[in-house]
């Protein structure tokens, strides 16, 4: 099957403006005749629902939380990128585009990335108008700080709560439309399938998480804004509820899943402390602006630190290895996430890790406090420092933080074209749910940018083009397809509830996470991935025989909710491993030990793998079919990445 990305012709800087003009329009009087379903109300979903309702469409919005304010978008701490160039330090739309393409290791689509950079400047204005309290400098302009992979300051922030403040802005816009009756909000409701009629997405099937009621909802278009699938690794920085179910069920209805093995490992997380943990905590990348990453130079000093014979403050300067500054002098501690993560792993693998487990390196603020003063550092990072103290009982003002890489974001997701449409007509994917903008490695502070770009500035144009082509004829939930899909969902729930084995769903999830982290994490080999594929199949077979799901459907049933999500993770994980096996190159944070430079850096193979891998579901327990979208670079020539 040929994948048509619908990339507009013409110069890069004119593609989006010309494309907007060429899209079909729905006139204001007709917009109220269309119903649009939005699944997920994080930044992408809330901004899309609010914008589309503001235009006049009727919107049905769904989230499994008790309020859109609880979407995982609130967890984004450090900031949002935009090419405003307030610092006059050489930033521009083109430089943001270039940094994003390079940061993604030349595995993203040029046209999408340029549009993202182009609309970034509008996002900031929109959010300021909504009252988002961005930090400001003395002259009154919005303040900026730096993030990894860039040599300019372009990250706008609200202390360490940027995601939360941006979500509150989108939530206020959404609430305005709920009050006006243009958005009907369904909370504590989980989407469990997509309804297809004549090859088009025309609705969804949901379960009410309070009373178990299975319902159908119709719409002229379905927008999935359901985030990423990092929890396939069990331990990640994602909220425990974050899952792949909506996207995976869409995949099984025909939507291609792209680049599933592209998982971001974030270098600045509080290290794992044991099997009792259900998630990990991210310490914002913004901390690398002023914190210095180091490990002891010798195994002897590392051992003394691990056994508490020495404190970090007692390690002399000449005995510290500021390894990022040493290896990458041009970027120092602000190298991209994949580079920082891989180097931290090298320190630990070399036996120079710190902390009781030895699986950590230091992030030290002593120099910044000496240079700027404790009060200034506290003003910039105080809530992050407090969070670290509450979790570890260690004071980062007086001793270095301990950090280690952890699963954070997923660059893979549903395949979409330039219009954010999947290959299924009427089905769109926004934000982290799609694959489109970040290649093999997302630059820090670009997640919030993409979610809001898609919701505020892209989908309001592109979905109208589709709606104008199909017309406003109502979609009737009495159509047999709705009842058939509802029956399939009900049967699946009954199958899960019939599981009365001896192992909890959580045990299966934790075991899956161990397999994924060990064999499909930061370092991968053909042998390890092949082993992982076999282990996952065995685990999935055992799940359907020996898992324990308690309770019944007609009640609040967390065991049932988790069972459905873990069952989907068990299927996704095998596709993720297949994707990693196929891609015999090191790219971004996806390090194949068989493919590295003499200096130990990631070695791409552009001649063979310069494409998007889009996988088509072919049936249960059947190999998926690979489709390739070639990546053509007209404006940024792929080269070996260097941050030295």
- Residues with active-site annotation: 337
E-state strands within 141-238: 155-156, 183-186, 189-197, 200-208, 214-218, 221-224
DSSP class of 282: B
Longest Cα separation, the chain: 75
φ/ψ bin of 424: left (φ > 0), alpha (ψ from -120 to 50), beta (otherwise): beta
Let me know: does 207 contact 489? Beta carbons within 8 Å: yes
User: Six-digit token pair at 154?
Assistant: 């372009």
Q: What's CA 104's distance to the chain center, in Å?
A: 14
**CA-to-CA distance for 325 and 363, rounded, in angstroms?**
13
Helices (H), 181-260: 245-252
SS3 state at 405: strand
φ/ψ bin of 420: left (φ > 0), alpha (ψ from -120 to 50), beta (otherwise): left
* Residues ≥6 apart with Cβ < 8 Å to 577: 261, 519, 520, 529, 532, 533, 536
Q: What's CA 264's distance to the chain center, in Å?
A: 8
**CA-to-CA distance for 584 and 568, rounded, in angstroms?**
26
Residue 616 burial (10 A CB sphere; 0-12, 13-18, 19+): middle
Let me know: does 220 contact 475? Beta carbons within 8 Å: yes
**H or E element at residue 228:** none
């Amino acid at each position: 099957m040929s994948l048509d990305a619908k990339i507009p012709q013409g110069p890069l800087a004119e593609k989006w403006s010309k494309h907007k003009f060429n899209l079909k329009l729905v006139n204001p009087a007709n917009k109220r005749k269309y119903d649009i379903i939005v699944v997920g109300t994080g930044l992408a979903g809330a901004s899309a629902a609010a914008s589309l309702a503001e235009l006049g469409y009727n919107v049905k919005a769904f989230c499994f939380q008790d309020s859109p304010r609880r979407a995982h978008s609130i967890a984004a701490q450090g900031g949002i990128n935009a090419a405003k160039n307030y610092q006059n330090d050489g930033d521009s739309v083109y430089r943001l585009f270039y940094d994003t393409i390079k940061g993604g290791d030349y595995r993203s689509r040029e046209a999408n990335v340029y549009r993202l950079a182009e609309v970034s400047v509008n996002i900031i204005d929109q959010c300021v108008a909504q009252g988002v309290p961005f930090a400001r400098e003395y002259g009154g302009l919005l303040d900026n700080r730096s993030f990894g992979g860039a040599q300019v300051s372009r990250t706008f922030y609200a202390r360490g709560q940027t995601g939360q403040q941006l979500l509150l802005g989108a939530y206020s816009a959404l609430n305005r439309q709920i009050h006006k009756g243009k958005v009907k909000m369904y909370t504590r409701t989980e989407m469990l399938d997509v309804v297809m009629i004549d090859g088009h997405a025309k609705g969804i099937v949901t379960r009410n998480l309070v009373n178990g009621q299975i319902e159908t909802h119709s719409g002229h278009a379905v927008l999935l804004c359901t985030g990423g699938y990092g929890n396939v690794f069990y331990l990640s920085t994602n909220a425990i509820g974050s899952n792949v179910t909506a996207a995976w069920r869409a995949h099984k209805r025909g939507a291609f899943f792209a680049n599933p093995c592209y998982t971001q490992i974030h270098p600045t997380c509080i290290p794992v402390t044991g099997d009792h943990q259900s998630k990990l905590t991210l310490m914002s990348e913004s901390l690398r602006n002023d914190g210095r990453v180091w490990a002891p130079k010798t195994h002897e000093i590392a051992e003394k630190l691990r056994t508490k014979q020495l404190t970090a403050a007692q390690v002399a300067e000449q005995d510290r290895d500021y390894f990022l500054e040493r290896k990458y002098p041009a970027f120092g501690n602000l190298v991209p996430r994949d580079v920082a993560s891989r180097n931290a792993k090298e320190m630990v693998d070399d036996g120079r890790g710190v902390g009781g487990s030895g699986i950590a390196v230091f992030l030290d603020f002593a120099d910044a406090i000496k240079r700027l003063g404790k009060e200034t550092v506290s003003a910039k990072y105080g809530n992050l420092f407090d969070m670290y103290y509450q979790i570890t009982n260690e004071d980062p003002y007086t001793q270095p933080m301990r950090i280690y890489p952890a699963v954070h974001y997923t660059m893979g997701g549903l395949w979409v074209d330039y219009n954010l449409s999947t290959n299924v007509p009427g089905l769109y994917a926004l934000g982290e749910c799609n694959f489109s903008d970040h290649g093999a490695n997302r630059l820090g502070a670009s997640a919030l940018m993409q979610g809001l770009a898609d919701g505020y500035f892209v989908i309001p144009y592109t979905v109208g083009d589709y709606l104008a082509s199909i017309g406003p004829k109502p979609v009737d939930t009495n159509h047999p397809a709705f009842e058939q899909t509802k029956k399939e969902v009900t049967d699946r729930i009954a199958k899960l509830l019939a599981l009365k084995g001896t192992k909890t769903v959580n045990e299966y999830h934790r075991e899956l996470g161990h397999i994924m982290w060990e064999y499909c994490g930061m370092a991968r080999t053909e042998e390890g991935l092949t082993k992982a594929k076999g282990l996952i199949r065995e685990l999935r077979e055992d799940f359907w025989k020996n898992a324990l799901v308690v309770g019944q459907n007609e009640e609040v049933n967390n065991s049932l909710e988790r069972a459905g999500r873990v069952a989907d993770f068990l299927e996704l994980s095998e596709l993720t491993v297949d994707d990693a096996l196929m891609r015999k190159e090191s790219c971004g944070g996806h390090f194949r030990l068989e493919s590295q430079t003499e200096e130990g850096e990631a070695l791409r193979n552009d001649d063979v793998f310069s494409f998007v891998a889009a996988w088509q579901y072919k049936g249960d327990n059947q190999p998926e079919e690979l489709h390739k979208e070639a990546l053509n670079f007209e404006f940024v020539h792929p080269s070996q990445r260097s941050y030295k």
